[in-house]
Every structure is written in C-alpha cells, then in structure tokens.
Amino acid sequence: MWKFKWGLVFFILFICTSCNQAESELKPPPPVTDEHSGISVDETPFPYKFFELSVNYDGIDDQTLVQYRYSGGKIFARYEDHGTDQEIEGERAVQQIQPKLKQLKLTQETEAKGLIERIKDVFPIREDYRFIEVKVRFNDGEEKVYKTS
C-alpha cells in the first residue's frame, strides 16, 4: 500500500513539474536590459522616453525588434535581427540604434504613414514584411502606436 502512495506522489510531482516547464516556455521575452547595464545620461536626446519597433514576416514574429528606453537617468537598448542572427543590448545597441532614431526625426506630430516610410529607409526591413508596429511614449507621457494596415 505504501508503494502505491509513493508512486502516486511521484506521479503528481511529475505532472506538476511538467506543467510548470510548459508555462515557463510561454513567458514573454526578458526586459530590455537589467538596471545595471544602462548608460548614464543627463537627459534623453529625443522627445520620447520609450521607442519599440517590431517587424513581423509571414511565419516569423518579431523578426526585427528594436527597443530604446530612457529611465532614471539611464538609457537601455536592445536590437535583434533574427534574419542575420544579430542580438545586442546595452552600449553597443545604443550606438547602433541612436543614429537611426535621429534619422527618423520622430515627434508627436509625425504621421504614421511618413514614419513607417522613414523606418523602412533607416532600418534593414525587407519588402515582404507582413506587419510593422512602433510604440512610443513621449516625454510628456503621451503614448502612440503606429502600425501598417
């Protein structure tokens, strides 16, 4: 009888740990960078504190991902291009992203169509993209989402 109870206990533990493993695979990606790897600056060089670009192709979500965030006197950045297996963050990502963001000349008055066209010129985006989405939080707290239709 005790073998049956222990067998049942191990079976339940096996099922529970298997379920937890499946859940961990569904978690969202890690944050842009951890708080210790931010680059200290006096202020953000842009009229926004948060910028995220996501480009999806058929069968591939987030093929290209650009994240740029200013918080607490630090800049955090991440650049991923799964087409070229490039994945960088921290200072190297800031050095790669900032010149491109300057070229965008993004302000609160920027129209979605104009921004998407400039993004396609500035970032390495193939013409066969399915979807482009840009999320921005401006310095005054206003949030905007720009999307292709």
Would residue 125 count as lying in a domain? yes
Q: pLDDT, tens digit, for every residue of 95-132? A: 999 999 999 999 999 999 999 999 999 988 888 888 89
Checking if the pLDDT of 2 tops 70, the result is no
Would residue 126 count as lying in a domain? yes
Least confident of 9-18, 55-64, 75-84, 123-132: 9-18
Structural domains counted in the chain = 1
Would residue 19 count as lying in a domain? no
- Crossing angle between the packed helical segments 91-104 and 112-122, to the nearest 10 degrees: 130
Please tell me the distance from the alpha carbon of residue 91 to that of residue 39, in angstroms, as a whole number: 7
pTM metric for this prediction: 0.70
In three-state secondary structure terms, 14 is helix
Would residue 69 count as lying in a domain? yes
Checking if the pLDDT of 92 tops 70, the result is yes
- Pick the closest to residue 101 from 48, 38, 43 (CA basis): 48
Checking if the pLDDT of 49 tops 50, the result is yes
**pLDDT value of position 61:** 64
| Residue span of the structural domain in which 95 resides | 35-147
Would residue 7 count as lying in a domain? no
Backbone angles phi, psi at 31, to 5 degrees: -60, 170
More confident residue, 54 or 12: 54
Largest CA distance in the chain: 74
